[in-house]
Amino acid sequence: MGNSDIVTSTVPPAIPDDRLRDLARRRMFFLDRDGTLTLAERKLPFVDEFLATLRATDRKLFVLTNNSSKSPRRHFENFRRMGLDLREEEVLVSIQPALAFLRAEGATRLHLVANAEVTEYVRSEGFDPAADDPQAVLLTYDTEIHYGKLLALVAHLRRGVPYYATHVDVVCPTPDGPVPDIGTTIRTIEMTLGLLPIRTFGKPAHEFVRPTLDAHGLGFGDAVVIGDRLYTDLELASGTDMLSILVLTGETTRAAHDQSAVKADIVVPDLGALLPWLE
């Protein structure tokens, strides 16, 4: 794709171009959370109208969050508390495809690096999160990480236990600014042992969305991904014919997008700018 199309909420283009017409025909929407639907635990402008329009026009929607420091149920409860009209099955978290993969591999004895809440969730899914002889190491965004956990992780990896991580994000946005996410631990391990995860499961891994498309009999060409982060949300669309939309309500500026190798098909200031093309 060439240069992105700029649309503003206040002055929509008089004639929709090919990409906006393409948007209008798509049936499944994968939405990022932080910086796209919410910021600092609050709904961003136009979110209610946007979700209502998708539902009124019989489109499917899913929120994709890489943040594996909360269980899927907790993410859903947070959305409801913020007043977002979502159903529990519409919230997809990176740990879900990770556990589905491990289960399919027959790896239920894990060395899990996770906080207490997520450890309990993993246990409730039928895994042993602290096996003496783990079949796999699974790293999550552990908000209770400490040096002893790093030592135990390194010990298992030195013994050659297969190493997986739920996602790749380096920082997590907060109202006060970015804080270290899982990617900083991945880099710590890389600097210590020269090892990277065999596989990751959140955005931009296509495995995060493919089962959902399959379940609805749809393909990448029916789908749209909307987000604020280039190397996860927008990268998810690369190598597919998903339509990618960058919203400028989060961490990426117009200038950063223009300088990036990862380009969105459409760039908009906010979700409101898309509303005219979804009716």
* Residues found near Mg ion in the complex (CB under 5 A): 32, 34-35, 228-229, 250
Sign of CA dihedral 248, 252, 253, 255: negative
Least Å from the CB of residue 163 to Mg ion: 26
Closest approach of Mg ion to the CB of residue 41, in Å: 14
128 vs 251 by CB, closer to Mg ion: 251
At closest approach, how far in Å is the CB of 170 from Mg ion?
13
Taking CB positions, which residue lies at the least distance from Mg ion? Answer: 35
CB of 226 to Mg ion, least distance (A): 10
| Residue (32 or 270) nearer to Mg ion, CB | 32
d(CA 13, CA 84): 29
Pairing of strands 171-172, 179-180: antiparallel
Rounded to whole angstroms, the Cα distance separating 218 from 58 reads: 14
Structural contact between residues 153 and 139, judged by C-beta atoms closer than 8 angstroms: yes
Residue 32: closest CA among 10, 65, 69: 65
189's enclosing H/E stretch is: helix 182-193
Q: Which is nearer to Mg ion, 31 or 138 (CB)?
A: 31
